[in-house]
Amino acid sequence: MLSQESPTEHAHPVVQANDQADGLSTRDNAPNLIVIGAMKASSTTFYELISRHPQVWFSREKEPHYFTSTDYGDSAAWRRYLGLFEAAPQTAKYIGEASTGYSKYPHFGDTAQRLRDDLNDPQLIYLIRDPVKRTISNYRHAYLSGHYPAGTRLGEAIERDPILIDASCYARQIHAYRNVFEDDRLLILTTDQLHAEPGQVMRQVEAFLELDAFDGWEAPLPQSNSKQALGRSLALQSMLPKSLINVARACVPASLRERAKALAASKIEVPAVSDDERNLVFTRVESDLHELRSLVGDDIAMWPSAKRLGER
């Protein structure tokens, strides 16, 4: 889980670009492609999908969250972060990571400026989803992981945890990045588009990143982050210390791990979300949603929340 505070200064040197012809790789193999979120907007699916391209390499640790951690700026933490990318092949045009905490402004420090300064102006991809649906999904995810006391309803969680709403205020996040990066450094995609037309979306990504054409996008989308698997995994993690989980993963047969996860998940029941709570979420994101529509236009026209804007 991300920390609530981050230092405002950093001690490590800024990464400098080398003289390679593509102008993208850095001296330390630091990433030059960052998927900044949003949480619960299919960033894991996208991460697994884009990793199919032979010119793109992502760290095995999908979400290192270095730029939003309390260790940000510590020289040892910086070296550990760079170590995640040491295995990247020289042929990779893009080296990436995908930390959803990078789109939770104003929490965790000035993430956009940190990325701009330390990674030599990387390319950014931001996946967004209907904000009411995203908030509810985030709440359920957090509840299963033990972030809230048992019985905490969505309305209570929103008051307790402002990040639930802030992470759904996409226009605010976009402005935070465009205040630091040129507009052409940020590509905005929707979860709806990704699932409906993955090939078309990934060809858009190819154009944005100037990648060679790739014919592997049409294969079925990865399903590693299904609701069932997520619930079981988070339930298990909430019940055991991390050190024990790591030992179990290494030593316990997969069949037994799955049985343990199923047993743990069966003991957790997330409170149902009421219509009043859905309306509360919409009210909290409504003004930002108006602004988002002016930024991305018809890309969000099919969102239930966007349709509600025209009814008010």
Longest Cα–Cα distance of the chain, Å, equals 57
Check residues 264 and 170 and name the one with the higher pLDDT.
Answer: 170
Percent of the chain whose predicted confidence (pLDDT) is above 70: 76
Domains and CATH numbers, the chain: 33-225+274-309 (3.40.50.300)
Give the range among 30-34, 74-78, 188-192, 260-264 with minimum mean pLDDT: 260-264
pLDDT at residue 274 in the model: 98
Using the predicted structure, report yes or no on whether residue 251 has a pLDDT greater than 50: yes
pLDDT at residue 184 in the model: 96
Using the predicted structure, report yes or no on whether residue 301 has a pLDDT greater than 80: yes
Whole-angstrom Cα distance, residue 234 to residue 264? 9
pLDDT at residue 43 in the model: 95
From the CB of residue 243, how many other CB atoms can be counted at a distance below 10 Å?
A: 8
Three-state DSSP class for residue 198:
helix
pLDDT band at 267 (very low <50, low <70, confident <90, very high): confident
CA torsion 235-240-243-246 (nearest 10°) is -40
What is the rounded average pLDDT for all residues in the chain? 83
pLDDT one-digit tens code per residue, 22-69: 433 344 589 999 999 999 999 999 999 999 999 999 999 999 999 999
CA dist 26 to 16, 47, 172, 174, Å?
6, 21, 30, 25
pLDDT band at 12 (very low <50, low <70, confident <90, very high): very low
Whole-angstrom Cα distance, residue 8 to residue 124? 22
From the CB of residue 273, how many other CB atoms can be counted at a distance below 10 Å?
A: 18
pTM of the model: 0.81
Using the predicted structure, report yes or no on whether residue 245 has a pLDDT greater than 60: no
Residue 163 amino acid letter: I
pLDDT at residue 243 in the model: 47
The mean per-residue pLDDT over the stretch 245-259 comes to: 50
pLDDT at residue 84 in the model: 96
- What angle separates helix 227-239 from helix 242-251, to the nearest 10 degrees? 120
pLDDT one-digit tens code per residue, 95-146: 999 999 999 999 999 999 999 999 988 999 999 999 999 999 999 999 999 9
The CB-side HSE value for 156 (13 A sphere, CA atoms) comes to 12
pLDDT at residue 3 in the model: 36
pLDDT at residue 253 in the model: 59
Residue 13 amino acid letter: P
